[in-house]
Structure 1
């Protein structure tokens, strides 16, 4: 089982759908966030997620927030592997329903809160033409078969196939906790989040064909035909060895074929047949003309042995190719769960003009268990794709196996933010997040290489301006610096530095209801990585690019008394 490939695939969906946040973590968890991008010192209802210790600033009573984001992402992958039919792969990611629900009951110094949201994943990805890592093993058939079959006169000029891949991922979180106001300037929070993770993989690889001098056919069929030709050549060469033996026995082994014909040992037809056989095996004409019967017999014997061995090997290769290029489907579900302890603190200074929020989410230990339907677990390809027994039976090796366990830890992260009331109308917020990726179970791959070289960093600035007592507008910026190394980044799972711009507003209908609206656009910095195909030894590069945009609408409901200063 190739754990490295499986780990990347398992991380693929989680990282693909981490629209904002760390490698596998979503922090876009409210409409207010989409319009501002910094909520780490929030004292609103979405503080349930961003700054739960700040809930002490709410008025006594019940408070609720319901919001949804519709997110859309395009992924562009370019591979320079020379034998691909096309070098560009485009994937679309959609999450039209991305909900966040929060509830708080505040009484005196204490607040009890709960939250429900997709803390990881949350959408579906579709690659109509698959991915380079899925296609390169088949594209590599062209140089591999051309090289290996050339001594036998075989060649491959092209390949074709049909391929499709889609997946979904969601890590739903159920959060609950208690906030306690220690004094006028300090509040503390203790809580946790239960994670329910589910990934699905569906797709197919079909109709793998190669173009040969004999036409378009399945790779195994063509190799089997070449094996048959090699076997026939071995039989013919062995027959020539036998036919020359009487000449050796007659002490004519030192004669050339022309001399044997001139001396009446063989007929012209026999001479031409023996010489023609050597020519067909690639022996130069001048060498054949000068070759004695004894040397010719040894040459035929060598070719007979080599061709027989080649035929045996090619028959096995044909069986193997029939196995790994057969139509196959992916029908896999991965499930797992984990628990995240959460602590927080809120500090209010300068007569509450400055509010500081601190939250720490501990490492979530989590494994995903494979559920494979009808052995549709995706064969691994040509390096680890299976084996052929001595009796000629192909046994595939699958990327996913029912009941297999893969690590999917969610890294711990620390958020520190500050909100400053610069004027009666202007609020300024800043925030910094650190994701402690190096402590996750997947931070080192099976070869001992680090998939991350540090901690993922996120930093942001948000501005909020009240046009009236009931209506405000906001803008925000969020930047990230990824920790992923070349051992993490693959077309299945890659992380890029980003710059995000957001904007929107809020309209207070009355003391109970506030409508939130916003959206954001994320620009990813393209990255190019050097790759090496193990099967062919071909070096190439892959360039990864993305863009994401989203719109959001939410409603905040406060059923408590207005808090007095």
Structure 2
């Protein structure tokens, strides 16, 4: 297959569906039916409002689900179009809750951050000065897995609190293979006919904390706040190469023109922390069948260490949603989210671009039995185009999800 070498070297830009540069706001399919989850009192609270878990009935709960997304990234410059697509991005989730009396204990896993594997078959604008024409293949993976453990305690009829610990394991991998008719031209290095492979695995791990508070003054109103601390992540590259591509790549990356390749060179270390975030939400039952919600997230992006990625301001988002029970078994959901990432023009390049966005969602819940509930959802993320130095950056996401929650 005809491809331009290095077209997606660092283009594993995150598929964050909110205002954080990295962290995913959509932990479960329920978010994709209604993004205003931060004051929920359902099993979804294990991800969005752990202090609210004390309002579940006593018992054990297990939830499992997954999200599939079709993601398109696009850049336009001087009449040229650079486009990449990942039609099958997958985010799974699994949680367990034990509720007894005034206590609730929870554990969950899922995607904390990460994005698609992108392949720009026609190259990218800001790396054009590095590239000739030729054949090659590039495969990449960008995935952050999380595991959370915590507990919630009811202080009285109105107030409850929660605390937990979060573990993050992150990978940013790339595999490159090229044939001899691929040419690299980063000055002052002359043009070469290169062949060989270069495989780079960048990994990091870290811990953080989660703290929450929930206030429920009556059966209709609920308010909640949750704070997730920063998770420090230092990525280290473990890389190997073959052929003259493997021999040349470190030299190319040390050149100013090839600086975008530096993070994948063997032994490279650099910080890219997950930022702290503050979640806030409110839910109000208008009637026994109709509930409205609202809230948002605030991301302390500027306070996270990000080597070589300065210029980010704090990000924020606001959302609204509603649920309406149309029958004994079926409940319909919908919502909207607006996000500003805090990315300034100086943070935009072909390796990453964080766009503000509108999110539109719709979904349904089906109570199959008193102990088993299904959630179905779909979401469209409309990113706001942004032009920097003659390059117009675009992306969009269409996603669907399904999950099941079972009480035993």
1:169 pairs, out of 142, 151, 164, with 142
1:360 pairs, out of 208, 227, 230, with 227
Counterpart in the other structure of 1:117? 110
Aligned to 2:361, the other structure's residue is in SS state strand
Aligned to 2:194, the other structure's residue is in SS state coil
Shift of 1:474: 0.8
Counterpart in the other structure of 1:544? 393
Question: Normalized per residue, which structure has more strand?
Answer: 2
Describe the superposition over 1:192-243 as per-residue Cα deviations: whole angstroms up to 9, x where unpaired. 1100111111235655689xxxxxxx989xxxxxxxxxxxxxxxxxxxxxxx
Counterpart in the other structure of 1:310? none
Shift of 1:431: 1.1
Counterpart in the other structure of 1:245? none
Q: TM-score, normalised by structure 2?
A: 0.89
Aligned to 2:256, the other structure's residue is in SS state coil
The answer as to whether partners of 1:417 and 1:429 remain within 8 angstroms in 2 is yes
Shift of 1:110: 0.5
State yes or no: 1:187 paired with 2:160. Answer: yes
Distance in 1 (CA, whole Å) between partners of 2:126 and 2:158 is 55
Counterpart in the other structure of 1:474? 333
Alignment of 1:25-424 (within 5 A): 25-80=23-78, 87-121=80-114, 123-138=116-131, 160-162=133-135, 164-204=137-177, 320-322=189-191, 326-327=194-195, 329-349=197-217, 351-374=218-241, 376=246, 378-379=249-250, 380=252, 383-384=255-256, 400-424=264-288
CA pair 525-96 structure 1, distance change in 2 beyond 3 A: closer
CA pair 172-165 structure 1, distance change in 2 beyond 3 A: same
Shift of 1:547: 0.7
Aligned to 1:54, the other structure's residue is in SS state helix
Shift of 1:432: 1.4
Shift of 1:417: 0.3
Q: TM-score, normalised by structure 1?
A: 0.65
The answer as to whether partners of 1:367 and 1:407 remain within 8 angstroms in 2 is yes
CA pair 95-435 structure 1, distance change in 2 beyond 3 A: farther
Q: Which has the larger radius of gyration?
A: 1
Shift of 1:409: 0.2
CA pair 357-378 structure 1, distance change in 2 beyond 3 A: farther
The answer as to whether partners of 2:19 and 2:356 remain within 8 angstroms in 1 is no
For structure 1, list consecutive stretches of 5 or more residues without a partner in the other structure.
1-7, 81-85, 139-158, 211-217, 221-315, 387-396, 531-540, 560-565
Counterpart in the other structure of 1:504? 363
Question: Normalized per residue, which structure has more helix?
Answer: 1
The answer as to whether partners of 1:165 and 1:203 remain within 8 angstroms in 2 is yes
Describe the superposition over 1:440-462 as per-residue Cα deviations: whole angstroms up to 9, x where unpaired. 111x748xxx421x211111000
Distance in 2 (CA, whole Å) between partners of 1:369 and 1:124 is 20
Alignment RMSD: 2.6
CA pair 477-439 structure 1, distance change in 2 beyond 3 A: same
Distance in 1 (CA, whole Å) between partners of 2:58 and 2:225 is 23
Aligned to 1:516, the other structure's residue is in SS state strand
The answer as to whether partners of 2:182 and 2:195 remain within 8 angstroms in 1 is no
For structure 2, list consecutive stretches of 5 or more residues without a partner in the other structure.
1-7
Counterpart in the other structure of 1:431? 295
Counterpart in the other structure of 1:441? 305
Shift of 1:122: 5.2
